[in-house]
Amino acid sequence: MKFRISRRNALVGGSLTTALSLGELAAADVILPADAVRFRPEIEPLVRLIEETPRERLFEVIGARIERGLSYRELLAGLFLAAIRNVQPRPSVGFKFHSVLVINSAHLASLAARDTDRWLPIFWALDYFKSAQERDVREGDWTMAAVDEQRLPSASQAIAQLRAAMRDWDVEAADAAAAAAARVAPADQLFDLFAEFGTRDFRSIGHKAIYVAGAFRVLEVIGWQHAEPVMRGLAYALLNHTGDPNPAGVDLAVDAAGRANTRLADSLRADWLEGKVDDAATASLIATNRQGSPIELSEATAAMINEGIGVQSIYDAHFATAAELVMRQAQIVPLHAMTTTNAIHYLFNRCGDDSLRRWLLLQNAAFLGHFRESAVGRAKLSDRLITDLHPHDGATDLAAAVGAIGKGGEQPSQRILGYLQGGGDPAALMRHVRQLIFYKGNDSHDYKYSSALLEDYYPRSPQWRDKILAAGSHLLTGENTPDTSLPQRVTAALG
């Protein structure tokens, strides 16, 4: 696919105000394809530095730049754009593309870290990008190309043509329209559009929704002036349907729930956001989620809303269902049930269109049905149920709770539930969990999963939050995992 970008003025949403003192790149260091997209002049030198520096020297080079004044925010922007330009979201919005997807998770981990650990997640993401870049080179060396300016629609038609191209799964038209829309459309309008198309189908097991949420969250930090290549990257990723014919002209199972929920969303009562919190209803919906089809789970969610149950209780059930899947099968598919629910929940809270919010709530329910079916297709689920989860007998202190993570059986969930329900400090537990990842994490899912699970602890109802965290602990990084060399390498790089 051809992806050329022209310079434009920064739009509202923040900007990098501190100039980068990065020096100039020698001509021999510039090896981008002639038609590759170029970023804004204040960030392009840093992006090129990240792209061109060998993996084994990158920490040293970036550490020296930090000593000379490079900020965390600037580094986050440079890394995100380097990954957008260099790593193709094909054949799936996953695999090596986790080098893009993990950046928001790493950022959230940095925000929650102790001051002494705050650089570790972003340096881990830098190293992970270099490994993905190497893999992408082996697989064809894809680079986002400059947008074709001749194809760009007018400002007045940009959003309409982007929506039409996304609906028709037209990659070339969507690329041009996304570039045009990023230059003129409000960020909120683009957010709602991509939230819709990022959740319409179950391809890539939720990674499309994760990408939309993560991309907009990173842009909120680094500034909307960097949005154009990101919007183009999103359009390209969300139109991935590898292995299927054009979905616009056929009815496929991965698209069925989205179409059904368009109609079902209209059936929700007018005051659907004013329901009551009902723990019994949450437990009932969790039980339904263990056996229904994706569309049946959406219908059950809609029925509860129309019976007066509040969104808080519905999302308690969504997160509890995802955590229970993790407890019953601590593998990759249930992991993505949690990270996808976290992403869709963010989209739900952030979007401004009432009809879209209704649809996202129902789509999240359907996705949980897809995840359960996919998990069952891979391996048998255990008999453990979150509604039957009880704390370990006797007192459990923080050391015992953290020490149980990574061990088999029911011990992790029982120990952590015992600690939390015995008066333990959840913030202290989460600090220890994150620190284990900083020092022992060696996979993008260590960051993606932990950031998703921990972020949604406090928003959940008191009746459910401890059980959700306890059940979800089966996929956290434990003390028995070997340490990585990351802390020592970062310490050396930062002097």
Closest alpha carbon to 7 in 226, 230, 233, 235: 226
Rounded Cα distance between 47 and 335, Å, is: 31
Q: Are 379 and 331 in contact (CB under 8 A)?
A: yes
Partners of 309 in beta bridges: 276
Tens digits of per-residue pLDDT, 392-447? Answer: 887 689 999 999 999 888 889 999 999 999 999 999 999 999 999 999 999 999 99
User: Which residue do the tokens 């997807």 mark?
Assistant: 101
Helices and strands, counts by H and E, the chain: 22, 0
* Token pair for 95: 């695999």
* Angle between helical axes of 253-265 and 354-378 (0-180°, round to 10): 150
pLDDT the model gives residue 393: 84
φ, ψ dihedrals at 36, nearest 5° = -70, 150
The answer, yes or no, to whether residue 196 has pLDDT greater than 90, is yes
Q: Are 368 and 322 in contact (CB under 8 A)?
A: yes
Q: How far apart are CA 300 and CA 255, in angstroms?
A: 19
DSSP 358-412: HHHHHHHHHHHHHHHHHHHHHSPPPS--GGG--PPSS---HHHHHHHTT-STTHH
Query: To which H or E segment does residue 317 belong?
Result: helix 311-328
Percent of the chain, pLDDT > 90? 89
Stated as kind and residue range, the H or E segment containing 427 is: helix 426-440
pLDDT of res. 59? 97
Please state the φ and ψ torsions of residue 214, each to the nearest 5 degrees.
-65, -40
Per residue in 259-310, pLDDT (tens digit) is: 999 999 999 999 999 999 999 999 999 999 999 999 999 999 999 999 999 9
Q: What is the pLDDT of residue 32?
A: 67
